Amino acid sequence: MAEATLQTPLTRAAGIEVPLVCGAMYPCSNPELVAAVSEAGGIGIVQPISLTWVHGHDFREGLRLIRRLTANPIGMNALIEQSSRAYRERMERWIDVALEEGVRFFVTSLGNPRWVVDRVSPAGGVVYHDVTERKWAEKGIAGGVHGLIGVNDRAGGHAGARSAEALLEELAPLGLPVVCAGGIGSERDFARVLRMGYAGAQLGTRFIATPECRASEAYKRGIVEAGEKDIVLTERLTGVPVAVIDTPSVRRLGTKAGPLARFMLRGRRTKHWMRTLYALRSLWALKRGLLRDSPERDFWQAGKSVAGIDRIEPAGEIVRRFAAAWRESPAP
């Protein structure tokens, strides 16, 4: 019986061995975690605000720290929503630094990726774009991206509304490779999405429950002990639904934004101001919740992949275990 191959359009584009991405996570993407996934043959994605503001590294020096831990490819996440000129200029500088430090794989989200594509393509860069439905994928394709990351309804953070199956059915006819993001907590989940026709899988929650991640032990235990029904959507962090573990803090505060916030988020003139306020507040709340053992006071982002996570284990072991399970499965 032939073994399934690990070579996909994602592995060829990113120059990696295993079609597995450690997604960029604010605030959980610390250098040691990013490096561990890449060193094992997947690819870790740097989240710039997490690297600098949460974990305290100068951006260039943070990339060089990761490079000292692994010589394998790493990626960078670019949140490209047009929130302010200052933010855009800072993101441009970060991308330029990343290119100078040898990064060639970029993941864009929340905006038009054209300027990122134009900036990185001359240097041989590849851009995959986060999408939750076909209309955003079409805009990404118009912006020149090389692949798509389909965020489904089982993802942590800002999840999509469609199942992995329905999303692939929408996106596959567009002709670009699609990576599955959401609901992948076990090697069985990984094999299932590859067999469906995805070019790879992006994991977030699974990699929080690792020794390399700097999340608190309480946060990691919360992921291991949670079941699918313990994942709820709250508007209290960003004004739009975010998938989190149903902690005492979430139950105390409720999951709906207040009436004034909802009103301002609907207004053409006020929604930008309200989104900025929510963004600043959520940056602080999630940073605080990362490091302290306080489910009574904090928000812990996680997706429904918790159902397949039963222990804290090294990130490299996760990559190798997932890869072995796929290699040993029958070729599709």
pTM assigned to the model = 0.89
Dihedral angle sign, alpha carbons of residues 263, 269, 270, 274: positive
pLDDT mean across residues, the chain: 87
Residues 90, 80 contacting (CB under 8 angstroms): no
- Is residue 12 predicted with pLDDT exceeding 90? yes
Name the CATH superfamily, with its identifier, for domain 9-215+308-327: Aldolase class I (3.20.20.70)
Q: Which range has the top average pLDDT, 4-13, 126-135, 227-236, 262-271?
A: 126-135
Structure tokens at 199: 């070019």
pLDDT per position as a tens digit, 63-111: 999 999 999 999 999 988 766 788 889 999 999 999 999 999 999 998 8
Asked whether the predicted pLDDT for residue 46 surpasses 50, the reply is yes
- Give the tokens for residue 261: 């916030």
Q: Where are the domain boundaries for CATH 3.20.20.70 in the chain?
A: 9-215+308-327
Distance (Å) of CA 140 to CA 135, 274, 306 = 9, 26, 30
Query: CB neighbours (10 Å) of residue 187?
Result: 18
Res 278: pLDDT: 46
Could you tell me which residue, 274 or 91, shows the higher pLDDT? 91
The amino acid at residue 304 is K
pLDDT at 285 over 80: no
**DSSP 8-state secondary structure symbol assigned to residue 106:** E
Give me the DSSP letters along 223-288.
HHH--GGGEEEESTTTSS-EEEE--HHHHHH-SS--HHHHHHHH-TTTHHHHHHHHHHHHHHHHHH
